[in-house]
Amino acid sequence: MSLSSAINTANSIFSNTAQQTAIVSKNIANASNSDYSRRLAMLGTSGNGAQVVSIQRAQNDALLKQNMVSISQASAQGTLFAGLETLKSALGGNDYETAPSTYLASFRDSLQTFASTPGNTTVAATLVQDATDLANSLNKTSTSVQDMRLEADKEIASSVDKLNGLLADFEKANNGVLSATASGADASDALDQRDKLLRQISEIVGISTVTRSNNDTVIYTSDGTVLFENTPRKVTFQATSGFGATTTGQKVYIDGVPVAAGAGGNTSGEGKLSTLLQLRDEIAPKYQSQLDEVARGLVELFKEQSGATTLPGLFTWTPAVPPATVPPAGTTVPGIAATLKVNPLALSNPLLVRDGGFNGAAYVQNTTGSSGYSDLLDKFTAAMDGNLAFDTATGLDGSTSIMDFATSSVGWLEDLRSSASTANDNKVALLSRTQEALNNETGVSMDEELSLLLDLEQSYKASAKLVSTVDAMMAALLEAVR
């Protein structure tokens, strides 16, 4: 080896070591950055020995795609579980202390007590108060359900805005990857940014990706709708200002295709949009219909009848048009739970519950005015434990007592929440495992990087020794020719 070739070799080693050290330093600086993929300096041979020919980025496309699916599923499940927890809290938490079924049981107990002591005006007043508490519970719960729908609608609007912003950012990142790939430059930073955006997009909507030539990426939703191809597809949504039992929320459209809502406690949805739609359009309306059926059942049970005419008695409500008769059995009256109330006459004269006559003398049952009259109260008590016809669209038994129906409504919600809780734990665990597997493949290991630094140090020392040796030989050669 000539002295000049030795110097060139040493310079090549210094250059390689400098580049490799820069890469290792960057890896170490991003060791805690979950959106960073490890860089590797790849060596090749040249006339002066090995040299850095390219910078490769650690990646595993299969694990990345599985990670995005896990993110979508965990995000959807977590959103559903949070919504059900909010609804449970509105009903009093673990024991459902403020649920209508709880107040219904207290009202039934007061009714039985009054039936055994029909002349006791204090017990009569207590019964009316319990009836008022029951009506208020249905009112408040109905309001909570519609508030939850409104909050879900607002979050849908926010998520749609965020998704459109992420897609715009993705276009820039994807163009950066294309430009770097076409020019032969290092595309690692642009690829990191693009993968980060993909993970953020997958939290909002389930996606799949296809990589084309020049590292160009196309994004599809989990149901096959194009979300991004060269340019972002528009995601549109019109928010609703307020919700009632008869209000229908607007759909979310991706490139003109509506986003489907998830289904079930272990939701089929991917991404939070699907379960926000599920909460707003499926779960909350169904629970509202159950509340409405409890309210309608109360109106039916405590109705007054004279001949062929039936009118609301102890319980009434505020419809847009006052009804001539009690609502038909087995048919939901949307929103009745929100305005159910105790007949104002009962507040001024609680004994009307015992005697009848809320709608005039023709409806009085205790015609003698006896303080021991309990026939009507006994009839009400028996009716509360007897079967009524309920709307099967509520998802509950269509023929059961109002007590069992109200209890089943709580059971329906708790079963759904429990299923969502179990599924949430499972999907979060799966996400954790896929993230760990992906990080093992693409993340930075401090032990490996520090070990590599030690190797680079030895390489630097070797090249420095070579330069020192060449310098000594050059000095001896110059001394010899003097």
Between residues 379 and 42, which one has the greater pLDDT?
379
Which contacts qualify for 28-35: CB closer than 8 Å, 24 or more apart?
A: 28/444, 28/446, 28/449, 28/450, 30/444, 31/443, 31/444, 31/446, 31/449, 34/435, 34/439, 34/443, 35/192, 35/193, 35/195, 35/196, 35/199
The single residue listed with the structure tokens 């989990």 is: 222
Mark residue 256 as left, alpha or beta (left: phi above 0; alpha: psi -120 to 50; beta: remaining).
left
Q: What is the pLDDT of residues 377-392, one digit of tens each?
A: 999 999 999 999 999 9
Q: What is the pLDDT of residues 153-163, one digit of tens each?
A: 999 999 999 99
Q: What is the pLDDT of residues 63-98, one digit of tens each?
A: 999 999 999 999 999 999 999 999 999 898 888 889
Exposure string for 316-348, b = 16+ CB within 10 A, e = fewer: bbeeeeeeeebbeebebbebbbbbbbbbebbee
Most confident of 3-7, 27-31, 41-45, 162-166: 162-166
Report how far residue 155's alpha carbon sits from residue 308's, in angstroms, rounded to the nearest whole number: 50
Mark residue 230 as left, alpha or beta (left: phi above 0; alpha: psi -120 to 50; beta: remaining).
left
Specify the pLDDT at position 308.
85
| pLDDT class of 7 with cuts at 50, 70, 90 | low
| Angle subtended by helix axes 188-204 and 121-183, to nearest 10 | 160
Of 358, 384, 345, the residue nearest 304 (C-alpha): 358
Cβ distance 243 to 175 under 8 Å? no
Listed in order, strand segments (DSSP E) in 294-361 are 304-306, 309-311, 315-316, 341-342
- pTM: predicted TM-score of the whole model, two decimal places: 0.88
Task: Write out the two tokens for 21.
Answer: 């050290």
> Using the 8-state DSSP alphabet, how is residue 280 labeled?
I
Specify the pLDDT at position 444.
75
Report how far residue 312's alpha carbon sits from residue 481's, in angstroms, rounded to the nearest whole number: 125
The single residue listed with the structure tokens 């006791």 is: 120
Distances (CA, A) of 159 to 150, 164, 201, 274: 14, 9, 10, 11
The answer, yes or no, to whether residue 1 has pLDDT greater than 60, is: no
Q: What is the pLDDT of residues 227-241, one digit of tens each?
A: 999 999 999 999 999
Cβ distance 352 to 346 under 8 Å? yes
Specify the pLDDT at position 227.
97
Report how far residue 193's alpha carbon sits from residue 170's, in angstroms, rounded to the nearest whole number: 8
Of 141, 112, 22, 89, the residue nearest 377 (C-alpha): 112
Contacts with 101 (C-beta within 8 Å, 6 or more apart), sequence order: 403, 406, 407, 409, 410
